Amino acid sequence: MTSPALPGTLSLTDFYAFMPRLPDGSLSLSSDQQQALEHDFALPLWVIAGPGTGKTHTLVWLVLKRLLVDGVPPQRLMLTTFTRKAATELRTRLIQARQAMVDAGLKAAEGIDLSQLMLGTLHELASEVLQRERYHETLRVRLLGDELTQQFFVRRSRNPLMDCDDLTFWQRFKFIKGADVFPPNKAKRAEYACKLFNRMTENSVDLSLLRSSGEPHLVVLADAYDAYLTNLHKGHRSDQGLLQRHFLDYLKSPAGQGWVDQGLTLLVDEYQDTNPIQEEIYFHLAGTRGDLTVVGDDDQSLYRFRGATVEALTSFDLACRHFLGRQPVPLYLTENRRSHPQIVDWVNAYIGGHPEMVDPVVRVRAPGKPLLVAKSGMTGTYPAVAAIAEGANPQAAQKVAALVAGLIQDGLVSDPSQIALLTFSTRETTHGVGPYVDAIRAQGLSVYNPRSRRAHVDARLLALVGAFSLILDPDYAEANLVAGLPRGVPKYIQDARAAFVQLIDGGLYPELESYVIDSRSAIAAATIDPANPFLKRKGGQQVILSMLLFKLLSQEPFASDLRDAEGGERIKALNLIMAEYEALFSDGRIKLASDPGGGSRVDGWTVYNFYSVFVEGIHDGLNDPEDSEMTLQPGAVNVMTIHQSKGLEFEVVIVLRPDKQPFVSDTHELEDQFHTFSAHPTKPTHRRSQEERAAEDAIRLFFVAYSRAKRLLVVAGQLHPKCAPSWDRVMGAAFGSGKISKRADLAGLGAHLL
């Protein structure tokens, strides 16, 4: 067969002919996936893709079909994803799929320049378009790239909420409990302020409506948000949410409408995690053509705490009618090619076994959603779904560790990384996953837990912080400054200083010790210029904090840590925090003051800011950064949050702490607080109660956890009628026989007891 010379002239029949085939000669597409490719896109396409049904596979071939058959220019096709990692995977698989077609003889595929695709997260694509189109509001604007940086900015710009001591204000939004007698500390105020501001942006909250409500707390909030916007504008900065607001404003402008009217094909991945402002952006991108495809699964919606709303997916048809005046075509991907049939049966029964997932008024799930169909081809009559239920977590942990060791020793998994321990929180406390990881390590096995929030107490990183403290603050800060530090930070600083002293006490690192002593001496001997009272080198160049960091990192043992994968990633995270701190606090310059005892010292407020913002940010729980290209650690049992496991799959999944119960959080409160004042055009007219939404969140969370498993799913934890909550919430009591509070109650659920 001869291939056409140009893209866009290939028939769908020929496209299929050049697609890779399965061993039996059939297409590597299910009938549902073929329907997606054969859609004519005169109407929007609404794809509900359950776990393991080949969502990414569908997107890859759909993109290539739109390019090669429909003739969409690559530079006019936009594919948005939820994370950078997902974007990287999609790009890689697109390149591989195109190459497979080239290898099969399709010359037209060689002419497709995939680098021209607009592929990435919405934040990345918004920034790219706004810069390329020279949108005035975002020219020369620096983005606050993460939550910690945003909190630094709120503190540095002295937002009014930083001085809000009104307990009832913080209680209103459920940031503190009604019984609390003290307002949040400065660090927490910054965290909560950012959460409030982000939700206001994402929900298009109307400040005039807030103020006209006459409620004092809402007026305070409106003024604080207004001050935040003003300070961002003055500082030529934007946060992630406001970047999207700028993008939406651009799309509504004549220039933006002209850009969209050139023709745009839009595909949106993970649509269940879309927030209100993103939904509006997507429909404006679709323009009058309405060439829009959304792909997602309402049962895997996990990011309400970041402002996502599952209604974007479950009510996509209503939004299409509002924005486009037309009805989308629904398509369900149901063939699960990941899991053992018993696991598929389990997740079907689980998600359908909760009355909370049905509501006569509100669409909790996508309408008409069918069950998953097992198509993995896995065979075997062994119990693929099992439970470890003990009277206390330490006993359950011993059984889990023995199971893990047995799977590895018997060769049932080829690498420990094929086993994942999933849980709500991976902090290694006695009441969390601590007993489980300790028991596995006691078996001589490695455990990788990048979300343990323990990186900040790593001995080497602690010593690095201690070196900084000893250089900038040899005698430890003045009592009145230290007393004002956030709770726990003074002890953390003392621990860091002690860690550095312990590091050099053995005499193994004389150059590091000399550098710290010499730096302290240089500060004490520095001459202060009243007009420019900052620490300078001999040549007159100002010394900044990152210079000290680089000098310290050039010394052993820190230099060797940079060559170690885990240590290097921790130091990289520290460096990123330092860069953002410098950008907001005097460019990292070190201000000097006269020492009452003679000579010079670092100014007290410079030291205080360094401790109260930079060090406090680390102390609050610096995570081991996750490599953008690799989430799993070969040779180690992977411990991760259920959120982190989204999009992954494992031969064996062990879900820990099924006694975890749903809880109403500030997230659910903020949804209710801002609902009345939101200007979002498709906001739901009716909201379920906070308790019902919290139950939905817990059910979906464990649905995601269970559906990661390929060959073996184990639920493990404490189950005791007197000592622990029952498991009915996370096991699906409705398809069992009542409340699950003892081992006998598990018998009717199809879980094999270990």
pLDDT tens track for 283-310: 999 998 999 999 999 999 999 988 999 9
Residue 403 has pLDDT above 80, yes or no: yes
pLDDT at 283: 97
Q: Where are the beta strands (DSSP E) in 367-444?
A: 373-374, 385-390, 419-423
Considering only residues 211 and 597, tell me which one the structure prediction assigns the higher pLDDT: 211
Residue 220 has pLDDT above 50, yes or no: yes
Consult the annotation and say whether 309 binds a ligand: no
Q: Where are the beta strands (DSSP E) in 609-703?
A: 637-641, 650-656
Residue 621 has pLDDT above 50, yes or no: yes
Consult the annotation and say whether 51 binds a ligand: yes
- Binning pLDDT at 50, 70 and 90, where does residue 731 land? confident
Consult the annotation and say whether 50 binds a ligand: yes
What 3-state DSSP class applies to 753?
strand
- Kindly report the CA angle at 580 between 577 and 582, in degrees rounded to 5? 105
- Binning pLDDT at 50, 70 and 90, where does residue 424 land? confident
Considering only residues 195 and 449, tell me which one the structure prediction assigns the higher pLDDT: 195
Residue 742 has pLDDT above 90, yes or no: no
| 84 torsion bin: left (phi>0), alpha (psi -120 to 50), beta (else) | alpha
Residue 448 has pLDDT above 70, yes or no: yes
What top-level class would CATH report for the domain 12-131+244-333? alpha beta
Residue 734 has pLDDT above 70, yes or no: no
Consult the annotation and say whether 484 binds a ligand: no
Task: Give the mean model confidence (pLDDT) for residues 239-268.
Answer: 95
Query: Hey, what CATH topology would domain 373-451+632-753 get?
Result: Rossmann fold (3.40.50)
Tally: H helices and E strands in the chain: 31, 19
Query: Could you give the CA distance from residue 577 to residue 145 in angstroms, rounded to a whole number?
Result: 11
Consult the annotation and say whether 604 binds a ligand: no
Query: Could you give the CA distance from residue 78 to residue 119 in angstroms, rounded to a whole number?
Result: 6
Residue 724 has pLDDT above 70, yes or no: no
Q: What is the CA radius of gyration of the chain?
A: 28
pLDDT at 479: 63
- What Cα–Cα distance (Å) separates residue 84 from each residue in 143, 221, 293? 16, 33, 20
Q: Do domains 12-131+244-333 and 373-451+632-753 have the same CATH topology?
A: yes
- Binning pLDDT at 50, 70 and 90, where does residue 481 land? confident
**Around Cβ 529, how many Cβ atoms within 10 Å?**
10
- Binning pLDDT at 50, 70 and 90, where does residue 242 land? very high
**Which residues fall within 8 angstroms of residue 669, CB to CB, at 6 or more apart?**
173, 174, 690
- Extents of the domains making up the chain: 12-131+244-333, 144-235, 373-451+632-753, 455-619
List the one residue out of 259, 3, 250, 237 whose CA is nearest residue 110.
Answer: 3
- Binning pLDDT at 50, 70 and 90, where does residue 736 land? very low
List the one residue out of 652, 645, 642, 641 whose CA is nearest residue 386.
Answer: 652
Task: Give the mean model confidence (pLDDT) for residues 606-630.
Answer: 68
What 3-state DSSP class applies to 420?
strand
- Binning pLDDT at 50, 70 and 90, where does residue 720 land? confident
Consult the annotation and say whether 55 binds a ligand: yes
- Binning pLDDT at 50, 70 and 90, where does residue 4 land? very low
Q: What is the DSSP string of 483-552?
A: HTSPTTHHHHHHHHHHHHHHHHHTSS-HHHHHHHHHHHHHHHHPPP-TTS-B-B-TTSPBPBHHHHHHHH
Residue 330 has pLDDT above 90, yes or no: yes
Query: Could you give the CA distance from residue 206 to residue 65 in angstroms, rounded to a whole number?
Result: 42
Query: Could you give the CA distance from residue 149 to residue 127 in angstroms, rounded to a whole number?
Result: 18
Consult the annotation and say whether 391 binds a ligand: no
Q: Say what the pTM is.
A: 0.86
Consult the annotation and say whether 53 binds a ligand: yes
Per residue, the 3-state secondary structure of 259-270, as one string, reads: HHCCCCEEEECC
Query: Could you give the CA distance from residue 358 to residue 380 in angstroms, rounded to a whole number?
Result: 34
pLDDT at 506: 83
- Binning pLDDT at 50, 70 and 90, where does residue 457 land? low
5-19, 136-150, 530-544: which range is least confident on average? 5-19
pLDDT at 1: 36
pLDDT at 629: 42
Q: What is the mean pLDDT of the chain?
A: 88
Helix %, strand %, coil % of the chain (to 5): 50, 10, 35
